[in-house]
Amino acid sequence: MIQRLAILGVGLIGGSLARALKKVGHCQEIIGWGHQRDSLDKALALGVIDRATTSLAEAVAEADVVVLATPVGVMADLFKAMAPHLRAETTVTDVGSTKGSVVEAAQAAFPVLPKGFVPGHPIAGTEKNGVEASFAELFQKRRVIITPVASSDRQAVATVRAMWLATGAEVVEMEVRHHDEVLAATSHLPHVLAFALVDSLARMDTSEEIFKFAAGGFRDFTRIASSDPTMWRDICLANDNAIVAVIDRFREDLEMLREAIKRDDSDKLLEVFGRAKRARDKWCG
């Protein structure tokens, strides 16, 4: 059980983590930190957190576990600001969608990485934002990847693992670089494609008619284009090499399909579509 947990950024992910841990009694007290007092007051009113502060020093100095639940683009500044106030025995983790950039930010902020530093990433979320969108069941039966570094203390790893298990998640460990390569393909590329498709169609002369007659398939495919643009800009910049590599691979495959359609190559289209259906039915059915 965590005695005192500080969540830096009480939005969808941070708020859902707080709700889930409160539901099972895994935390004695949850401190919420943020820049905007009105958002913190909303989290207090909803019962998501027990205490709120806009003082980062106060939040981390009193915490046994600190969770950075902010966009990856601001984590470097947070690490620098919290470094002088963090106790040596405190466990520090995050929920960022990229891990290499988070580790680099921590290395730049601390003379030596804290033994309690254990990066993490819950593979869960919705296209909605804010603490009002949070719910305790968000992580149930979802995977959470933790990526311990060489200096990570075994007890800190166990603490982070137990925290996520308490939410109902499945916890797996992965090397930092491999995490970023895998997520570039499975999460980052789909978001880039969804944003690009909606933007491309929105700029067509017939955009109003296109969206008016869009069916369920279009809404399902593009749902994630309603995600926070700032957050996804930060993710793309933080994991640029891996994302560019997977975009290049996808561009080659898309060009192959373009040529198959242009040549009326029925066999090639059926081969690709059939292979894709079998793969998705196997892994996502």
pTM: 0.90
Mean pLDDT of all residues belonging to the chain: 95
Kindly list the domain boundaries of the chain, sorted by start residue. 2-174, 178-284
The pLDDT of residue 216 is 83
The pLDDT of residue 25 is 97
| Mean pLDDT, residues 256-261 | 98
Q: Which CATH class is domain 178-284?
A: mainly alpha
CATH number, domain 2-174: 3.40.50.720
| Mean pLDDT, residues 100-120 | 97
The pLDDT of residue 150 is 96
pLDDT digits (tens, 9 = 90+) for 49-101: 999 999 999 999 989 999 999 999 999 999 999 999 999 999 999 999 999 99
The pLDDT of residue 155 is 97
SS (H, E, C) the chain: CEEEEEEECCCHHHHHHHHHHHHHCCEEEEEEECCCHHHHHHHHHCCCCCEEECCHHHHHHCCCEEEECCCHHHHHHHHHHHHHHCCCCCEEEECCCCCHHHHHHHHHHCCCCCCCECCEEECCCCCCCCHHHCCCCCCCCCEEEECCCCCCCHHHHHHHHHHHHHCCCEEEECCHHHHHHHHHHHHHHHHHHHHHHHHHHHCCCCHHHHHHCCCHHHHHHHHHHHCCHHHHHHHHHHCHHHHHHHHHHHHHHHHHHHHHHHCCCHHHHHHHHHHHHHHHHHHHC
pLDDT digits (tens, 9 = 90+) for 176-197: 999 999 999 999 999 999 999 9
**Range of weakest confidence among 33-37, 102-106, 211-215, 242-246:** 211-215
Q: For residue 212, what pLDDT band results from cuts at 50, 70 and 90?
A: confident
